[in-house]
Structures are given as C-alpha cells and as structure tokens.
C-alpha cells in the first residue's frame, strides 16, 4: 500500500498584512495629535499656501512613478532570464556586469548630476527605462546584457537624483527643515508602496499565461517612461550650476576633507551592501533544503514592514519624546547587525526567518530617511549627488567581490557573506556613535570657495 505525502507551500498569515496596514494607518493619522511640532500637521494641511506643498505632492507622484518602474523589472527575476534563454551559469555573469556598471560608471553619475543638473539626469533615468522597454518589446531575444547594464545605471540614478532634487528645491524656497524631513520619510513610504504596486501591475499583466507576461510588462514600462519624461520636461525648473573647477575644489574640501562625511559614506555603504545582499540571498535562504515557499506573498509583507518603519521616523525625530538622529541610527544599525548575525547561522524555521526579514526592513525604513536627514545637516546640497553616488561605490565593489568569490571560485558560503554584512552594520553603528561625539560642523561658508 502506497503512502501519500502531502506537500504544503508556506505562506504568511493574512493577519500579518492586516497588522502592518493598521499599524501604518494609526502611526500616520495619530501623529498630528501626539506631536506638538508643526511638521506633522503640514502633511495634512491642504490650506497651506506655500509653493512647496504642491511641489511636494507632484514630486512624490513622480517619485512613485519611478519606483514602480524600478520594481516592475524585478518581479519576474530569474524567470525572465530563463524566458530569454539565459543559462544559470550566465546569470552570475549578469549580476557581476550590473554591479560593475554601477561601480565604474554609476559612482560618477552623482557628480555629473551636480554639474549638469538633476533634470537632465532624471531624463536620462527615464530614457534608459524607455530604451530597455522598447528593446524588449520589439526584439524576440533581446540582449539581456545591454538591458541589465542600462537598468543598473538607472538604479544608480534613482538612488541619489530624486533626493538631491527635493533637497535643492527645499533650500531654494527657504522652507523649514522639518518639512524636508517629512518628505524624506514619505519618499521611503511611497517607494515601498510603489514597489508593491509594481508587483501587482506585473501580476495583472501576466494574467493566466505566465509566458506572455514579460512582453506586456515591457510595454507598460514604455508607457510609464514616456509619462515620466513628459512630467519632468513640463514640471521641473533647473538651477544654475557651478563650473567644473569650482565644483572640484568644493568637493575635495567639503567631501574628501571632512571626516564626518566619511563616516556617513561608510554607514551608507554598509547599509547598501546589506540591502543588496539581502535581495540576492533572501529567496535561496527561504527555499533551502527544498522547502516550498510562496515568495510572491512574502515580498509585499517585507515592503509593508519597511513602510511601517518609515512611519516611525517622525515619531522619533519630532514626536513627544524626540531623539537625536544619530541615536536612532545607532540603535537601528545594532538591531540590523543582530538580525543578520542570526540569519548567518542559517536558522531553518521559515516563520522565524520571515519575522527577521520583516524586522530588517522595518529598520531600513527608519534608517533611510534618517541618513537623508543627516546628509542635509552635513553635506552641501550642491555636492549631495556626488556624495551619495560616492557612498555606493564601496557597497558595489564589495558585492562584486563576493559574487566573484561565491559564483566562480566557491571560496565563500552564503552564511559567511551574511556574517560579513552583519559586521558592516555594527561598523555603521560605530560610525554613528563617533559622529554623535564629534558633533555637527556647519558648512554655511562653503560658497566662498
């Protein structure tokens, strides 16, 4: 008599989504009544006559559009590469090519953005997505190498250009610092929500026949890219830029010459390395030993946790019991370090792993606007894009190194890579501790160079 073994696919409980949604709802809508600062009320004050309020709304809409496009290509993942006939051995080469492009070209795009203006570089972002979308729509077997490099460069632009744009516009209009801080956490919130929306859009385009889902996604990317180009062309005024010699002198003086900014660069690099490593290893970690997991349902719970973490930022910074930004980052980095330390031991319980993953993203949701706030305190806005792109270079170099060691030489295991990321997060916590002790060095006189 045969024995039938029933296999089940693990998926998160629906109560997890309800908890995240309600927590975000109450965290946002109870904040004005709990905080005495005017920054929270400005989020819902539609009678505000400031010109920054309509700009903020239009900016968040455009930023959400760009976020949807960033997330749209990542939904199919490995399936899309298999669809185009890419072997598993070539997938590692594709990852290496993407991080190489981000390292050797993307590291300098921030400086180019500071020199030629954020509007032109934002147009390049949408043009890159438009090119990839058209390339995949009209070609049965497009070159995934070209597409991957273009998308890597677009992701590099996405990481610094929008933040720099909104910070410069905020300074030009002479708005309060708390309004810009609100925009930073709203960017993290809207980006996470848009990534979930990108997954929903991709799944809707797939429909019943998965094999036909890749081409409609390319068509959707073309449409969204054209819409983004129109919005940027009509609603973006460019500011005068510095000459190259003045920019070079200022950059060497205020970026390379300030140890406080180097601490911010190192902390940002450690964070970006851990995030990139997470998205490379999270699925293999969950499906280890042949376990069946519904990854499509776990993905939105992770981004929902990041949304929840971003809503904690205004409570800690401008709530009833305000904390220093450095303190918030110090504790958040320590928590992330312990989370990755536990994951490095390859804990086999799926529920515990998903809980740790959600905690990781909740802390990331808090850290991203906090680091943006510190950059506003320490980095001149005219040098901001170059500083952010520079901070991504060590992270991309580390990821590229580990991909080569893991993918080709088999000299390192996944657990060791996660442990290295945990060490980096603890180093980032140390950077915040040192930054708090050194204090703030104003840069008001930097324009005199």
Looking at per-residue pLDDT, the higher value among 149 and 79 belongs to: 149
- Tell whether 377 is covered by a domain: yes
- Tell whether 5 is covered by a domain: no
Domain count for the chain, please give it: 1
Cross-strand partners of 10 = 293
- Tell whether 49 is covered by a domain: no
Q: Please give the pLDDT value at position 38.
A: 42
Q: Please give the pLDDT value at position 303.
A: 94
Give the rounded percent of residues in the chain with a pLDDT score beyond 70.
85
Q: Please give the pLDDT value at position 333.
A: 97
In the predicted model, is pLDDT for residue 346 greater than 80? no
Q: Please give the pLDDT value at position 391.
A: 93
The tens digit of pLDDT for each residue in 180-208 reads: 889 999 999 999 999 998 888 777 776 64
Looking at per-residue pLDDT, the higher value among 295 and 151 belongs to: 151
Could you tell me the pLDDT band of residue 448, with boundaries at 50, 70 and 90? very low
- Tell whether 220 is covered by a domain: yes
Distance, in Å, from the CA atom of 190 to the CA atom of 61, rounded to the nearest integer, reads 9
- Tell whether 125 is covered by a domain: yes
- Tell whether 10 is covered by a domain: no
In this structure, the dihedral spanned by the alpha carbons of residues 49, 51, 54 and 59, taken in order and rounded to 10 degrees, is -150
CATH number for the domain spanning 292: value is 1.20.1250.20
Give the rounded percent of residues in the chain with a pLDDT score beyond 90.
47
Long-range own/partner contacts, residues 23-32 (CB < 8 A, 24 or more apart)? 23/308, 23/311, 24/189, 24/304, 24/307, 24/308, 24/311, 27/308, 27/311, 27/312, 27/315, 28/311, 31/311, 31/314, 31/315, 31/319
In the predicted model, is pLDDT for residue 44 greater than 50? no
pTM score of the predicted model:
0.89
Q: Please give the pLDDT value at position 47.
A: 45
Looking at per-residue pLDDT, the higher value among 104 and 14 belongs to: 104
The tens digit of pLDDT for each residue in 219-263 reads: 888 999 999 999 998 877 777 677 888 899 999 988 988 899 999
Distance, in Å, from the CA atom of 265 to the CA atom of 185, rounded to the nearest integer, reads 20
- Tell whether 348 is covered by a domain: yes
- Tell whether 300 is covered by a domain: yes
Could you tell me the pLDDT band of residue 213, with boundaries at 50, 70 and 90? low
In degrees, rounded to 5, the angle at the alpha carbon of residue 33 between the alpha carbons of residues 31 and 38 is 75
Distance, in Å, from the CA atom of 156 to the CA atom of 119, rounded to the nearest integer, reads 15
Range of the domain at 112: 64-448
């Amino acid at each position: 008599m045969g024995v039938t073994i029933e296999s089940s696919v693990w998926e998160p409980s629906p109560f997890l989504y309800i908890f995240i949604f309600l927590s975000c709802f109450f965290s946002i809508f109870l904040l004005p009544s709990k905080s005495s600062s005017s920054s929270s009320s400005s989020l819902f004050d539609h009678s505000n006559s400031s010109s920054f309020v309509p700009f903020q709304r239009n900016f968040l809409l455009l930023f959400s559009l760009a976020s949807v496009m960033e997330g749209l290509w990542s939904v199919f993942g490995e399936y899309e590469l298999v669809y185009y006939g890419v072997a598993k051995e070539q997938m590692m080469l594709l990852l290496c090519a993407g991080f190489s492009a981000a390292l050797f070209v993307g590291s300098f795009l921030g400086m180019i953005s500071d020199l030629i203006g954020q509007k032109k570089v934002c147009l390049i972002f949408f043009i890159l997505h438009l090119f990839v979308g058209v390339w995949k729509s009209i070609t049965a077997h497009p070159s995934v190498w070209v597409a991957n490099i273009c998308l890597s460069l677009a992701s590099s632009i996405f990481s610094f250009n929008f933040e720099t744009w909104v910070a410069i516009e905020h300074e030009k209009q002479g708005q309060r610092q708390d309004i810009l801080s609100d925009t930073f956490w709203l960017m993290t919130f809207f980006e996470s929500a848009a990534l979930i929306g990108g997954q929903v859009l991709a799944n809707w385009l797939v429909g019943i026949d998965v094999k036909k889902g890749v081409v409609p996604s390319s068509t959707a990317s073309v449409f969204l890219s054209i819409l983004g180009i129109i919005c940027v062309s009509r609603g973006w005024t460019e500011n005068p830029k510095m000459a190259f010699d003045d920019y070079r002198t200022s950059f060497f003086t205020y970026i390379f010459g300030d140890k406080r900014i180097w601490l911010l660069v190192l902390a940002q690099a450690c964070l970006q390395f851990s995030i990139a490593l997470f998205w490379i290893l999270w699925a293999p970690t969950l499906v280890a030993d042949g376990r069946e997991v519904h990854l499509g349902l776990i993905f939105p719970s992770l981004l929902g946790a990041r949304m929840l973490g971003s809503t904690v930022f205004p409570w800690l910074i401008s709530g009833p019991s305000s904390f220093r930004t450095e303190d918030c980052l110090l504790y958040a980095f320590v928590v992330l370090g312990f989370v990755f330390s536990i994951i490095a031991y390859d804990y086999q319980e799926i529920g515990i792993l998903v809980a740790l993953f959600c905690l990781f993203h909740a802390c990331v949701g808090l850290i991203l606007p906090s680091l943006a706030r510190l950059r506003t305190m320490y980095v001149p806005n005219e040098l901001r894009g170059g500083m952010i792109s520079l901070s991504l270079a060590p992270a991309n170099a580390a990821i590229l190194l580990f991909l080569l060691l893991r993918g080709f030489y088999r000299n390192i295991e996944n657990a060791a890579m996660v442990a290295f990321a945990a060490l980096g997060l603890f180093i980032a916590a140390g950077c915040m501790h040192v930054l708090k002790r050194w204090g703030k060095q104003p840069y008001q006189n930097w324009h005199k160079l």
